[in-house]
Structure 1
Amino acid sequence: MTAAEKVGGAALVDFHCHLDLYPDHQAAIDRCEREAVYTLAVTTTPKAWERNHKLASATKYVRAALGLHPQLVESRSHELALWKELVDGTRYVGEVGLDSGPKYFRSLDLQKQVFGEILDRCAELGDRILTIHSVRAVRLVLDMLEARFPSGRGKVVMHWFTGTPAELRRAIEMGCYFSVNFAMLEGERRRALVAAIPLDRLLTETDGPFTQTLGRPSHPVDVSMAVLELARMHDIDGLAMARRIMRNLKSMIG
């Protein structure tokens, strides 16, 4: 059964997946094609871009994003120059952002410097779509977006958003989209936060292979579980929710 069949035949969207971190990169891409899941293959370093872009360019359903992950900035900040060389060649940027969790707080100042330069370049170029990491740093991320990436210069997707209700409202007012995975729908507090996201700002993701589905690493096909749970949350059927998310994707990318 294809992913689309699981939700009544509609196409599905996985807007944040690390396809190059599965044991067989090509097989992971082939599966996206076979299952008909529109997938954004994020990268964590600019050096990973070339292979991701080459493999994705041959497909209908996969696109690659150019990233410099905040958790890697301490060891990879020297790759920012390469990121700047490559960004002219893609609309999609990610995974980028900030992480002030205990393991990465010491590099936060460097993260802010790198993220700021990324935002400046994206604003200069325009028409970029960013998928943003904001662990324990939502306020800082939103502050930097307001200062350095005006809403008319591109689109922002908050990946695995874990901010406060007030931060969510602020992000909504700023025009952000939100990619939701199944783990975000577990627990009352998480569900309440997701329920407050307007339907026209919803996208879905797996963040595979870092999430688990049925005891094994999630694949883009598993985004159907998030779609079905979001449908239950909003009291509509899975087909309607899948179509809503696809409309959101098309509206965002233009």
Structure 2
Amino acid sequence: MRLVDFHCHLDLYPDFEALVAESERLGIFTLAVTTTPKAFARNNMLASSTKYVRAALGLHPQLVAERWREIDLWERLIGETRYIGEVGLDAGPRYYSSLDRQTDVFRHILRSCAREGGKVLSIHSVRAATKVLDLIEEEVPEGRAKFVLHWFTGSTAEARRATDLGCYFSINSQMLSHDRGRSLVASIPIERILTETDGPFTPNGASPSRPRDVKQTLSLVSKAKSIPENHCADLVIENLKALTT
């Protein structure tokens, strides 16, 4: 069974290099997202010799208040990868005070991706799904980039709007641990679903999730969509191909 972990912070594990090697050995397509552009170089170096691991260039919205000046470095690195993440907006209580700055940074990122063309973005949208979708509509002409909403917590109406805009959704086990999340996932067309761990921020028992643990997420998605697990795995692979070609 081929697996996809489309959002994992590999560089936040103590055995970062071993985890890259494990994903490669197991043939798990793993998107190594970064939280700042300063972290990208090492991720990209380790991923560059693999078939299955890809490094994404990020500037996490929760770090924008302190790290927004790194947008200049982000801009200099954009040509080195097709994948952008983790980027987006966070309007939760802890980060709301920086929302204007986050919006400026995310708008800059979207404009740069539209200019470059062909980028695939993994997007954070906590309490900000409508604003994220508004900015995508405003800044990115159709066909200039592709979007994956990571750990989506918006409403079913917002999910429907995102689907109409062509967005994909990367689903993790935590999303499927409660009725609201299961209902939301059930409402998303299967052809727009990818799987993720968001490790190390999700647990697998007493330990942080690793890319290999995405199989458990796949099992939960298959139940939410009433699809046999093997078939669900094949569909996720097909979705990944559609996203990246």
The TM tier, using the shorter chain, reads over 0.9
Say whether 1:231 aligns with 2:222.
Answer: yes
Distance in 1 separating the partners of 2:227 and 2:91: 37
Identity of aligned residues (%): 55
Distance in 2 separating the partners of 1:180 and 1:109: 28
Which residue is 1:135 aligned to?
A: 126
Say whether 1:222 aligns with 2:202.
Answer: no
Distance in 1 separating the partners of 2:142 and 2:243: 12
Contact 1:151 1:175 (8 Å CA) reproduced: no
Shift of residue 129, structure 1, vs aligned partner = 0.2
Contact 2:9 2:34 (8 Å CA) reproduced: yes
Distance in 2 separating the partners of 1:206 and 1:193: 18
Shift of residue 31, structure 1, vs aligned partner = 1.2
Q: Which runs of 4+ in 1 moved over 6 A?
A: none
Distance in 2 separating the partners of 1:120 and 1:213: 37
Question: Counterparts in 2 of 1:178-193, with a 5 A limit?
Answer: 178-193=169-184
Say whether 1:164 aligns with 2:155.
Answer: yes
Which residue is 1:206 aligned to?
A: 197
Say whether 1:251 aligns with 2:233.
Answer: no
Distance in 2 separating the partners of 1:56 and 1:76: 24
Distance in 2 separating the partners of 1:246 and 1:36: 12
Which residue is 1:196 aligned to?
A: 187
Distance in 1 separating the partners of 2:121 and 2:140: 10
Which residue is 2:110 aligned to?
A: 119
TM-score by length of 1: 0.95
Any idea what the Cα deviations from partners look like across 1:179-210, whole Å, max 9, x if unmatched?
00011111111100010110100000000001
Any idea what the Cα deviations from partners look like across 1:3-58, whole Å, max 9, x if unmatched?
xxxxxxx2100000000000121011011112221000000000001000000001
Amino acid at match of 2:35: T
Question: Counterparts in 2 of 1:102-113, with a 5 A limit?
Answer: 102-113=93-104
Q: Name the SS of the counterpart of 1:50 in structure 2.
A: helix
Contact 1:71 1:99 (8 Å CA) reproduced: yes
TM-score by length of 2: 0.98
Contact 2:84 2:120 (8 Å CA) reproduced: yes
Say whether 1:64 aligns with 2:52.
Answer: no
Distance in 2 separating the partners of 1:189 and 1:120: 33
Specify every segment of 5 or more residues in structure 1 that has no aligned partner in the other structure, as ranges.
1-9
Amino acid at match of 1:234: K
Question: Counterparts in 2 of 1:48-87, with a 5 A limit?
Answer: 48-87=39-78
Which residue is 2:146 aligned to?
A: 155
